[in-house]
Amino acid sequence: FAELHAAVPGLPLASSRVLPGIILRRDFAAYCPVQGELRALLVTEPLRPALTAPDVEFVVDSEGQYQASLRWITRRTEALVKQWQSNNVKLLLSSAKQEEIVIYYAKLYGISVVECLLSEEMALISEITGVSPYTSFGDNVYREITETAVATFCQPLLLGSKRCVHIGFTSVCAFQPHCLILCGPVDGINEQHAAALQEAFTMLQQVFKTVDQ
């Protein structure tokens, strides 16, 4: 329930509404509008290429070597993002904070980015779409991307003063997510209403389970 409702203080209760899809409580790190359906890639790790394997020390002996290393990272990052573009990826959903170079090339190649998502939000997206997070395989940046989620829409949404991302997915199960926008004059009242609604939904869930049995 926590991922399927958003509380907005400072507005009358009558402004509450139900929206299709889910709301991610983050603003776009990069936003490139797309009409119609788009392919989304889920990631849980920083995507900037590393110079060495984990726990391996990398020693730079000169400024020239350091600059060469930065150029290598830049080329690899661009190649990775360009590969996403060639696989028709238009949206990157990341639980990790991505570095500026990743955001730069994502914008350059028309890929929207939402980062720093909660693990619960990523789990919900995986449940809806049946897609697991993408894992990079070291030097192989050119491999085909087979697991992508299909988003029916993805757009900015302003809730009070907070910028969020409103996104709908093609669901692989009977669950068709909708999000409750719960408005109230202050946070305390919104919290009370949210708790009451959650209890009501839990009770209904138990009733339906009993009927099914």
111 and 33 part of one domain: yes
59 and 135 part of one domain: yes
Q: For residue 114, which phi and psi values (nearest 5 degrees)? A: -125, 120
| pLDDT, mean of residues 146-172 | 89
| pLDDT, mean of residues 205-210 | 64
Q: In what order do the strands lie in the sheet containing 178-184? A: 5-9, 178-184, 17-20
Of residues 88 and 175, the one with the higher pLDDT is: 88
Rounded distance between C-alpha atoms, residue 138 and residue 49, angstroms: 8
59 and 133 part of one domain: yes
Q: According to the model, what pLDDT value does residue 60 have?
A: 61
Percentage of the chain with pLDDT > 70? 73
Q: According to the model, what pLDDT value does residue 205 have?
A: 63
135 and 196 part of one domain: no
Q: Which two tokens stand for residue 27?
A: 């603003």
Distances (CA, A) of 161 to 7, 8, 99, 114, 192: 12, 9, 26, 18, 21
For 107-156, how does the pLDDT look when each residue is reduced to its tens digit (9 = 90+)?
999 999 999 999 999 999 999 999 988 876 555 566 677 789 999 999 99
Number of structural domains (the chain) is 2
Place 180 in a pLDDT band, splitting at 50, 70 and 90.
confident
202 and 164 part of one domain: no
Query: Residue holding tokens 């409702």?
Result: 5
Q: According to the model, what pLDDT value does residue 211 have?
A: 54
- Residue 168: give its domain's CATH number: 3.50.7.10
Q: For residue 158, which phi and psi values (nearest 5 degrees)? A: -100, 115
Full domain range(s) for residue 141? 22-176
162 and 146 part of one domain: yes
Residue 194 pLDDT > 90: no
Q: What is the mean pLDDT of the chain?
A: 81
| pLDDT, mean of residues 41-54 | 73
124 and 50 part of one domain: yes
187 and 169 part of one domain: no
One-letter-per-residue 3-state SS of 50-112: CCCCCCCCCCCCCHHHHHHHHHHHHHHHHHHHHHHHHCCEEEEEECCCCCHHHHHHHHHCCCE
Q: How many residues does the chain have?
A: 213
Q: For residue 116, which phi and psi values (nearest 5 degrees)? A: 60, 35
87 and 103 part of one domain: yes
155 and 197 part of one domain: no
54 and 152 part of one domain: yes
pTM for the structure as a whole: 0.78
90 and 139 part of one domain: yes
